Amino acid sequence: MINIGEVITAMVTPFDKNYSLDLNSCSRLLNYLIDGEESDGILLSGSTGESSTLDDDEKIKLFKFAKDNFGDRVKIIAGTGSNDTRHSIELSKEAESIGVDCLLLVAPYYNKPSQWGLFKHFEAIASEVKTPIIIYNVPSRTSSNINSKTCVELSKIDNICGIKEASGDMRQISEIIRDTDDDFLVYSGNDGDTLPILSLGGYGVISVASHIIGKEIKEMIASFKRGDFREAAKMHRDLTDVFYGIFIATNPIPIKEALNLKGINVGPCRLPLCPMEDKELMAFKEILKKHKIIN
C-alpha cells in the first residue's frame, strides 16, 4: 500500500492580478495547508487547481516547485490526466522525472470512450511510468463513468493503486471496495461522501473543504477509524453546510473566495470561471461565519 495519507487537499492554483501563476502565493498556501490544516498530501493541477486552464509549462513548474520546496514535508500528487492518451503519457513522464509521489489521472473527458477505451487509456499510461497512479472518476465533469468492473480490472495493474471516486454511486463504490485487494485505496472525491465511503471500507478523501477545515476532517476520519462512530457522524453532520456550501457556485470559485476572505491570497479564477453573484456570496459568507472560518 502506498503511503500518501488519508486527507489530500486538491489545492487551488494561486494566480496574481494578471492571472499569471503566482509561486510566492503558492508557497504561502502550501505552508498554511501543511502546518495549519495538516494536509497529508497535496494534489496539484486537479479540477480544483483549474488544470483545464494551465498549460504544460505551468503544470511542470508547479510540480517542480512543490516537490523541490515542500516534498520533504508532504506528499505531492500531480494531476497529469487529459482526454488525449499520448498527451497524458508525456505529462506523466515529465512529472515522474521531477519525482512526484503519485499521479492522478482523470477519466478522459469529452471523447466519451467505452469502458474498454477507458481501460486501454489508463493501461497505456501506466505502462509508461513506474510512479503510483490514482485514477479519478468524476462523471459530472467528464461525461464518462468508470464502472466498477473496469476499476477492478485496472486495480490489477501493478502501479494503479487507487481511485478517487466522485460518482456519488454508493453501489458502484461498494462493488469496487468489495472486489479489489485490500491495498487498493478508495478515496472519496466529494467531501460530503467521505463518511459514507469510509463506512463501506474506503480509505480517505481527496478534499476541497480541507483548505479551510482540514483538521476537522482529519479528526472525523480518526474518530471513525478508532471506532467512535457516533462522534464521526456528529462531526459529519456539523460540517455538512461547509461540505456543500463550497459548491454553491462552480468549484473552485467559492473555495478561492474563502481563502481570500481568510487573508490567504490565492487570487482570482481564470476565465471562463468568474466571481460569484452577490446573492451567492452573501449566503456563502454566512456559512463561513457560522463555522468561524471568517469573522
Boundaries of domain holding 223: 7-228
Long-range contact set of residues 82-86: C-beta below 8 Å, sequence gap at least 24: 82/106, 82/108, 83/108, 83/109, 83/110, 83/111, 84/108, 85/120, 85/121, 85/124, 85/125
Q: Tell me if 18 is assigned to some domain.
A: yes
**What's the number of domains the chain is made of?**
1
Catalytically active residues are 136, 164
Each residue's pLDDT tens digit in the chain (295 positions)? Answer: 788 999 999 999 999 999 999 999 999 999 999 999 999 999 999 999 999 999 999 999 999 999 999 999 999 999 999 999 999 999 999 999 999 999 999 999 999 999 999 999 999 999 999 999 999 999 999 999 999 999 999 999 999 999 999 999 999 999 999 999 999 999 999 999 999 999 999 999 999 999 999 999 999 999 999 999 999 999 999 999 999 999 999 999 999 999 999 999 999 999 999 999 999 999 999 999 999 999 8
Q: Tell me if 278 is assigned to some domain.
A: no
Predicted pLDDT at 2: 82
Residues 6+ apart with CB under 8 A from 269: 15, 50, 252, 253, 256, 275
Q: Tell me if 275 is assigned to some domain.
A: no
DSSP 8-state secondary structure symbol assigned to residue 200? T
Q: Tell me if 130 is assigned to some domain.
A: yes
CATH of the domain at 215: 3.20.20.70
Q: Tell me if 101 is assigned to some domain.
A: yes
Q: Tell me if 47 is assigned to some domain.
A: yes
d(CA 269, CA 17): 10
Q: Tell me if 285 is assigned to some domain.
A: no
Q: Tell me if 245 is assigned to some domain.
A: no
